[in-house]
Amino acid sequence: MTVKELLSTEVGEGEVAFVVFNEYSGVALKTSGTVIVVDPTFVDPDVFEEVDAILITHEHFDHLDLDVVEAVQRRTGCLVVSDKESYRRLRAAVPENRLVAVDVGDEVDLEGVKVYVKESNHPPATRPVTYVIEGEGGVKVYHTSDSLPFRRMEEIGRRFTPDVAFCTVGIAPGASLTTGVEIAELVRPRLAVPYHGRGFERFCRLLSSRAPDVGCLATEVGRVYKYPR
């Protein structure tokens, strides 16, 4: 597991390093001053030796693991930010002063990093959200959770001009390589990263044929990547 390699990676302002650590939407990000973990499931909590914040997108088992969140929070003292349904479940596991419930339209300031809470088109979840994370130097990452494409993603793309967007390509109901490409077409990130599924190379080929101006990165689980490359 190379989460530890992520923590030792040098990251300057305007840069972000990241690792996808499971087959779902588990992503760890490092900016020049902050470490953020999104949806930590199917992972050994001991690999997270340094974390400033955990972000939870919704309550499904592949996105919320109470034991992992509790272990990482206890070890690092990090803040836990979650949708309101996950918040209800986390209240017994995380100290009240380190747990924040958010809804669409909210913003969270992590001392230099801003997190903007946006909607998610994932009907099976109760109140799912997506996150735009803006790091030091203005680098921006859009984590789309299990979301299918929705029209306002185009507005999110125009407002935030994400450098990196993680695009759901499978497993979640209705998600496919095609819907993942539609997300990239709406958001227009500089770099689209397929996750939560398989067929990443095919996703990149399809995206290249439909939106050749959008870059693409087919990641491997456990490998550290850096933007800009």
- pLDDT tens-place string over residues 32-86: 999 999 999 999 999 999 999 999 999 999 999 999 999 999 999 999 999 999 9
The DSSP bridge partners found for residue 114 are 109, 134
d(CA 98, CA 60): 21
* Residue 4's pLDDT band (cuts 50, 70, 90): confident
| Counted domains in the chain | 1
- Name which of 86, 44, 39 is nearest 63 in CA terms: 39
**pLDDT reported for residue 3:** 87
Please give the order of strands across the beta sheet that includes 164-168: 107-109, 114-119, 129-134, 140-143, 164-168, 191-195, 215-216
**pLDDT reported for residue 24:** 96
**pLDDT reported for residue 2:** 78
Helix axes 177-187, 200-210, angle to 10 degrees: 50
Full residue range of the structural domain in which residue 88 is found: 3-227
* Residue 157's pLDDT band (cuts 50, 70, 90): very high
- pLDDT over 60 at 203, yes or no: yes
Mean pLDDT to the nearest integer, 197-224? 97
d(CA 227, CA 204): 17
**pLDDT reported for residue 49:** 94
**pLDDT reported for residue 52:** 98
**pLDDT reported for residue 155:** 98
Question: Letter for the amino acid at 148?
Answer: L
Please provide the average confidence, as pLDDT, over all residues in the chain: 96
- Name which of 227, 226, 220 is nearest 21 in CA terms: 220
SS3 call for 183? helix
d(CA 154, CA 113): 23
> Which CATH number goes with the domain that contains 172?
3.60.15.10
**pLDDT reported for residue 229:** 79
- pLDDT over 90 at 133, yes or no: yes
Helix axes 152-160, 177-187, angle to 10 degrees: 50
The angle subtended at Cα 22 by Cα 166 and Cα 114, nearest 5°, is: 45
Q: Are 143 and 166 in contact (CB under 8 A)?
A: yes
H-helix segments, 9-93: 66-76, 84-90
**pLDDT reported for residue 111:** 86
Contacts of 59 (CB under 8 A, 6+ apart): 83, 85, 86, 89, 125, 126
- pLDDT over 80 at 1, yes or no: no
d(CA 57, CA 82): 6
